[in-house]
């Protein structure tokens, strides 16, 4: 529930422009994707020290490929079933109405774009894209049906190392130019963020009046550094989260609640409900 003070602020300031959103896993929770650090989240079942690192995954694949395959199956099974929820759709409407300039997201599920947002900056990549290992700009989109097919094959063949390798090499082919194997285009722990996306994010934040921070624990850098970057340049920070985040104290307004509900209310405040 948004306070009267915040309603007045939203009505006055949002239509003057340059509102930007920074989203995290919490915005996709209502689409059925558990957050990383919440109950039932990926990092509850799989130790990120092993599974969120390329070296960890590579080593594990050598010794126990089934564990890696189980992780891939669990990871994709959830996001393949997910659809945009009212929070994603509200942001897409705000962008269409020229209120929201861009959405900077840490999410890799593509749900902002699926909801209709156009100016999306993906700091951590996209789970439906693959890229050449040595040339990050050489990318290819994998259709959801292709990934479903791959997951089906992995489930059927997970006890045979040779068959697993055959399936993976079919969906992650070698680059015709350099011979490198394609890999999923997401940022694992210890890897650099895509520099062009990060530069785009900083550029947007240089002129930002309001930064809406939605559903992020704000503990993973450099994304967690963006609110401070915006604040020292004069932006007002509004946090929408169902519990306080690591940087709640930095925010000018904090709205405790479910992202879908709050953003629908914001649409109403602005007359778009």
- How far is Cα of residue 262 from the mean position of the Cα atoms in its chain? 19
Asked whether position 37 contacts ligand APR by CB under 6 A, the answer is: yes
Work out the number of other CB atoms within 10 angstroms of the CB of residue 166: 12
Total of residues contacting ligand APR (CB under 6 A) = 23
Active site residue 88: no
Interface with ligand APR (CB under 6 A), residue from 10, 21, 26, 31: 26
Residue (125 or 167) nearer to ligand APR, CB:
125
First to last CA, the chain: 15
Part of the chain binding ligand APR (CB under 6 A), chosen from 148-156, 162-170, 212-220, 228-236: 212-220
Asked whether position 106 contacts ligand APR by CB under 6 A, the answer is: yes
Whole-number Å distance between alpha carbons of 214 and 242: 9
* Shortest separation between residue 41's beta carbon and ligand APR, angstroms: 6
* Shortest separation between residue 243's beta carbon and ligand APR, angstroms: 4
Q: Decide if 105 contacts 123 (C-beta within 8 A).
A: yes
Q: What is the 3-state secondary structure (H, E, C) of 89-144?
A: HHHHHHHHCCCEEEEEECCCCCHHHHHCCCCEEECCEEEEEEEECCCCCCEEECCH
Part of the chain binding ligand APR (CB under 6 A), chosen from 36-44, 169-177, 198-206, 229-237: 36-44
* Angle in degrees, CA 177, 182, 186, rounded to 5: 135
Residue number of the CB atom closest to ligand APR: 26
* Shortest separation between residue 245's beta carbon and ligand APR, angstroms: 5
Tokens of 225: 């550094």
Strand runs labelled E in 9-63: 19-23
The conformation of residue 174, written as its DSSP 8-state character, comes to B
Interface with ligand APR (CB under 6 A), residue from 119, 139, 236, 242: 242
* Shortest separation between residue 145's beta carbon and ligand APR, angstroms: 25
Whole-number Å distance between alpha carbons of 80 and 91: 21
Asked whether position 243 contacts ligand APR by CB under 6 A, the answer is: yes
Part of the chain binding ligand APR (CB under 6 A), chosen from 1-9, 60-68, 175-183, 236-244: 236-244
Asked whether position 29 contacts ligand APR by CB under 6 A, the answer is: yes
Give catalytic residues, as residue numbers.
124
Applying CB under 6 A, which residues contact ligand APR?
24-26, 29-30, 35-38, 41, 106, 124, 215-217, 220, 240-243, 245, 258-259
């Amino acid at each position: 529930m948004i306070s009267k003070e915040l309603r007045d602020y939203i009505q006055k300031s949002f239509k003057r422009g340059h509102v930007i959103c920074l989203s995290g896993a919490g915005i996709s929770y209502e689409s059925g994707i558990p957050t990383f650090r919440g109950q039932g989240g990926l990092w509850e079942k799989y130790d990120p020290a092993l599974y969120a690192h390329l070296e960890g995954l590579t080593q594990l694949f050598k010794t126990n490929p089934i564990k890696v395959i189980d992780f891939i199956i669990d990871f994709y099974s959830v996001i393949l079933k997910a659809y945009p929820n009212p929070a994603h759709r509200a942001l897409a409407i705000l962008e269409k109405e020229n209120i929201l300039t861009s959405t900077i997201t840490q999410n890799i599920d593509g749900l902002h774009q699926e909801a209709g947002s156009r100016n999306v900056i993906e700091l951590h990549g996209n789970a439906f894209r693959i890229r050449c290992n040595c040339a990050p700009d050489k990318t290819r989109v994998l259709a959801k049906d292709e990934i479903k097919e791959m997951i089906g094959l992995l489930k059927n063949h997970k006890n045979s190392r040779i068959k697993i390798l055959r399936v993976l090499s079919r969906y992650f082919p070698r680059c015709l130019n350099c011979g490198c194997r394609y890999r999923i285009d997401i940022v694992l722990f210890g890897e650099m963020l895509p520099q062009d996306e990060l530069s785009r994010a900083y550029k947007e934040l240089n002129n930002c009046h309001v930064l809406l921070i939605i559903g992020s624990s704000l503990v993973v850098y450099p994304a967690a550094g963006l609110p401070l970057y915006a604040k020292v340049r004069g932006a007002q920070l509004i946090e929408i989260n169902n519990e306080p985040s690591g940087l709640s104290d930095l925010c000018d307004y904090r709205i405790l609640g479910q992202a879908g509900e709050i953003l629908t209310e914001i649409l109403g405040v602005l007359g778009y409900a």
